[in-house]
Chain A
């Protein structure tokens, strides 16, 4: 399908570009930006170089490289009652994401090429968004023996992680980092020192005291971040730190980057949108790991987003069933269903002038593509895959969990008004999700 997107504000951090223009897509590939004088409008189509193009009018909208969420849990195979690849990728599409990276904590764990193949092919069949699987660091993510990482990468895995759990053994982490060095993929660690966190249910602070819930101190994360950075410094391998949530962790990462240590990091939308106070009333939809932190941690995250210490924004989309959340707080599972609210929440960073448009698109598309070496993704350069998101940055809408296409209705934002959303995604030149335009 040939498409021309006209009148939109084209934002592409990979080319340091922000201009109103016409973007041409031919045979699933981006052809480039063309002069409006070079084509002739003819009803719903445009004529360019003698060929017909379907017109999408993106006036007052942003045209950006397809958003990429490098940290989601699609729950498939094994936990399809929470989410499956079809509903998960559809939720991604509705949220404006053309690519998501699936964490390996499925059942069985994605520690082998069969599961990796399954994820990719099921997503392709569904066709809503690309799925790039993340393989397990260790067999069954048990933290003992390395999984067959090269096999996983050959099958299509783009990184390794035991997310959900930290790589608890420093020895194993070091071995894993050494082992992956020649293939250049990052290891994504979930930094958590379990001996500090395992008895807690929420961030340690006045809110946890008032609720009588055992707290998780911020050091449970920062000591693991420090450890991981030291091992990355020594091995020179690429380390990506998942869902960083504390001031001290970010200070350590800032230092590591200054020292030239090959570390990148992500923050979740919920850690910069909410604080521990969202747990008040024993709201299990605000129960996540790492826990929602204090306002001063949230401010530190915003600062680190603004100064570039944070590389990308992720959802850590973690769908759960009703019964896993409507239960005693200590028994409720951790996680937020985040794909459908992420962009609306992240646009607030631009509306609040914390970052500019280009920086936001970098955080949500170009940077994850670079971290994960995703070829022809995260950019609108000529020759790149025609994965595009069209965003209305102004449209106000109210989050309604019952309208989520994700099976996970576990959101702390139900009833909240957000400003801005994705109107449409184009995936490999195919128009999708044009339900809200």
Chain B
């Protein structure tokens, strides 16, 4: 076991590896509540945030995570890069690698870019989202948030609802959660999924009662508004009515159901404000909080193993 090549996808991790990252994240979470939110664990390490696709929360989350471990963080984003000058992604990454960073955090719009880059780079890569493929730290923070609440994943009914087809979150979630024994349901309009998704171990349903009844966890995915213009669903109104989650539909689920969302939320579309704001059900901000801990853990396991982190 080891993460010295980075974390490219949950499809490549086994149950123990997933649990290990989540456990470390639980023990690191406390660092963020201290008056001085910093441990010297990764002092002298350089973390490169290499974002070829715009992102606010994930990039910030990684940056905070790295800084709380005392690493130096350099942000590189699409707008200020030489990508616009015609340089290939491989060349961009190799040029930065020549400056001896310790880890790359990469987001890119192309599925599989991490596999491509890892053939060309010696530096480990943590995948911060590649195309419609994977977003492993989101998957891990989702697992952490469920573990936090339910103390287990095994046997839970977890519903992932929305645009499955274009969702890297859905893929990382199903890889991780099914390895930990969850019963995962995909609930989506038939135009935003294919039947082949059943091959990932999920149960596909187009019926909201099937989906939400007795659910332990509901993960609502963000619906991208531009999908409507490509004809994948007829209107946001109808989408919301049939596939959105509101207080009324939530009654089908178990009384202690929790609702999650990778953000940013389209209020009133996939998720009603009532559910999004509900202290009882919504764990959306908890996910964001756990995200920092998961990313601290992910960076730590990739480049810091052997260093002490639970000193005060």
**A residues whose Cβ falls under 8 Å from a Cβ of B:** 204-206, 208-215, 281-282, 323, 326-331
A sample of 18 more A-B contacts (CB under 8 A), given A282-B111, A328-B89, is A204-B194, A206-B196, A209-B194, A210-B11, A210-B199, A211-B112, A212-B112, A212-B131, A212-B132, A212-B134, A212-B168, A213-B133, A281-B115, A326-B116, A327-B89, A328-B113, A328-B116, A331-B110
State the total of A-B contacts with C-beta under 8 angstroms: 62
When chains A and B are docked, how far (Å) is the Cα of A211 from the Cα of B200? Answer: 11
A330 touches which one: B88, B131, B200 (CB < 8 A)?
B131
In the complex, are the beta carbons of B110 and A209 less than 8 A apart?
Answer: no
In the complex, are the beta carbons of B110 and A328 less than 8 A apart?
Answer: yes
Known: A328-B110, A330-B110, A330-B111. A209 touches B197 (CB 8 A): yes
Within 1-57 of B, Cβ neighbours of A (below 8 Å) are at 11
User: Chain A residues with Cβ under 8 A from B111's Cβ?
Assistant: 211-213, 282, 329-330
Check if B171 is an interface residue, CB within 8 A of chain A.
yes
When chains A and B are docked, how far (Å) is the Cα of A329 from the Cα of B133? Answer: 12
User: Chain A residues with Cβ under 8 A from B133's Cβ?
Assistant: 211-213
User: Chain B residues with Cβ under 8 A from A210's Cβ?
Assistant: 11, 199-200
User: Chain B residues with Cβ under 8 A from A329's Cβ?
Assistant: 110-112, 116
Q: 21 interchain pairs (CB within 8 A)?
A: A204-B194, A206-B196, A209-B199, A210-B200, A211-B111, A212-B131, A212-B133, A212-B134, A212-B168, A214-B165, A215-B194, A282-B112, A282-B115, A326-B90, A326-B116, A327-B90, A329-B110, A329-B111, A329-B116, A330-B131, A331-B110
CB-based closest 7 A-B pairs = A212-B133, A282-B112, A328-B110, A206-B199, A212-B111, A212-B132, A329-B112
Q: With both chains docked as a complex, state the minimum distance between the C-beta of B228 and any C-beta of chain A, in angstroms.
A: 15
Closest chain A residue to B132, Cβ basis:
A212
In the complex, are the beta carbons of A282 and B168 less than 8 A apart?
Answer: no
Cβ contacts B107-131/A at 8 Å (1 or 0 each) = 0101111011000000000000011
Closest chain A residue to B166, Cβ basis:
A214
In the complex, are the beta carbons of A212 and B115 less than 8 A apart?
Answer: no
Closest chain B residue to A215, Cβ basis:
B194
When chains A and B are docked, how far (Å) is the Cα of A330 from the Cα of B132? Answer: 11
When chains A and B are docked, how far (Å) is the Cα of A210 from the Cα of B200? Answer: 7
Known: A326-B90, A328-B89. A209 touches B196 (CB 8 A): yes
When chains A and B are docked, how far (Å) is the Cα of A331 from the Cα of B108? Answer: 13
**B residues whose Cβ falls under 8 Å from a Cβ of A:** 11, 88-90, 108, 110-113, 115-116, 130-134, 165, 168, 171, 194, 196-197, 199-200
User: Chain A residues with Cβ under 8 A from B90's Cβ?
Assistant: 326-327
Q: With both chains docked as a complex, state the minimum distance between the C-beta of B221 and any C-beta of chain A, in angstroms.
A: 14
Q: With both chains docked as a complex, state the minimum distance between the C-beta of B179 and any C-beta of chain A, in angstroms.
A: 14
When chains A and B are docked, how far (Å) is the Cα of A282 from the Cα of B196? Answer: 18
When chains A and B are docked, how far (Å) is the Cα of A213 from the Cα of B132? Answer: 7
User: Chain B residues with Cβ under 8 A from A323's Cβ?
Assistant: 88
Closest chain B residue to A212, Cβ basis:
B133
User: Chain B residues with Cβ under 8 A from A281's Cβ?
Assistant: 115
Q: With both chains docked as a complex, state the minimum distance between the C-beta of A283 and any C-beta of chain B, in angstroms.
A: 9
User: Chain B residues with Cβ under 8 A from A331's Cβ?
Assistant: 110
User: Chain A residues with Cβ under 8 A from B110's Cβ?
Assistant: 328-331
Name the residue among B89, B132, B168, B197 with the largest chain A CB count within 10 angstroms: B132
User: Chain A residues with Cβ under 8 A from B131's Cβ?
Assistant: 212-213, 330
Q: With both chains docked as a complex, state the minimum distance between the C-beta of B116 and any C-beta of chain A, in angstroms.
A: 6
User: Chain B residues with Cβ under 8 A from A212's Cβ?
Assistant: 111-112, 130-134, 168, 171
When chains A and B are docked, how far (Å) is the Cα of A205 from the Cα of B89? Answer: 28
User: Chain B residues with Cβ under 8 A from A215's Cβ?
Assistant: 194, 196
Q: With both chains docked as a complex, state the minimum distance between the C-beta of A43 and any C-beta of chain B, in angstroms.
A: 55
When chains A and B are docked, how far (Å) is the Cα of A210 from the Cα of B111? Answer: 11
When chains A and B are docked, how far (Å) is the Cα of A205 from the Cα of B196? Answer: 6
Closest chain B residue to A207, Cβ basis:
B196
User: Chain A residues with Cβ under 8 A from B168's Cβ?
Assistant: 212
User: Chain B residues with Cβ under 8 A from A213's Cβ?
Assistant: 111-112, 131-133
In the complex, are the beta carbons of B197 and A327 less than 8 A apart?
Answer: no
Q: With both chains docked as a complex, state the minimum distance between the C-beta of B205 and any C-beta of chain A, in angstroms.
A: 17
Q: With both chains docked as a complex, state the minimum distance between the C-beta of B288 and any C-beta of chain A, in angstroms.
A: 24
When chains A and B are docked, how far (Å) is the Cα of A281 from the Cα of B110? Answer: 14
Closest chain A residue to B135, Cβ basis:
A212
Closest chain A residue to B114, Cβ basis:
A282
User: Chain B residues with Cβ under 8 A from A330's Cβ?
Assistant: 110-111, 131
Name the residue among B88, B89, B111, B199 with the largest chain A CB count within 10 angstroms: B111
Q: With both chains docked as a complex, state the minimum distance between the C-beta of A274 and any C-beta of chain B, in angstroms.
A: 18
Q: With both chains docked as a complex, state the minimum distance between the C-beta of B303 and any C-beta of chain A, in angstroms.
A: 25
When chains A and B are docked, how far (Å) is the Cα of A214 from the Cα of B132? Answer: 8
Closest chain A residue to B199, Cβ basis:
A206
When chains A and B are docked, how far (Å) is the Cα of A27 from the Cα of B283? Answer: 86
Name the residue among A209, A214, A281, A329 with the largest chain B CB count within 10 angstroms: A209
When chains A and B are docked, how far (Å) is the Cα of A331 from the Cα of B165? Answer: 20
Q: With both chains docked as a complex, state the minimum distance between the C-beta of A326 and any C-beta of chain B, in angstroms.
A: 7
When chains A and B are docked, how far (Å) is the Cα of A282 from the Cα of B108? Answer: 15
When chains A and B are docked, how far (Å) is the Cα of A330 from the Cα of B113? Answer: 10
When chains A and B are docked, how far (Å) is the Cα of A206 from the Cα of B198? Answer: 8
User: Chain A residues with Cβ under 8 A from B116's Cβ?
Assistant: 282, 326-329
User: Chain B residues with Cβ under 8 A from A209's Cβ?
Assistant: 194, 196-197, 199-200
Q: With both chains docked as a complex, state the minimum distance between the C-beta of B248 and any C-beta of chain A, in angstroms.
A: 32
Name the residue among B113, B134, B168 with the largest chain A CB count within 10 angstroms: B113
When chains A and B are docked, how far (Å) is the Cα of A262 from the Cα of B11? Answer: 49
When chains A and B are docked, how far (Å) is the Cα of A150 from the Cα of B59? Answer: 61
Closest chain B residue to A328, Cβ basis:
B110
In the complex, are the beta carbons of A327 and B88 less than 8 A apart?
Answer: yes
Name the residue among A214, A328, A331 with the largest chain B CB count within 10 angstroms: A328
Q: With both chains docked as a complex, state the minimum distance between the C-beta of A332 and any C-beta of chain B, in angstroms.
A: 9
When chains A and B are docked, how far (Å) is the Cα of A330 from the Cα of B131? Answer: 10
User: Chain A residues with Cβ under 8 A from B11's Cβ?
Assistant: 210
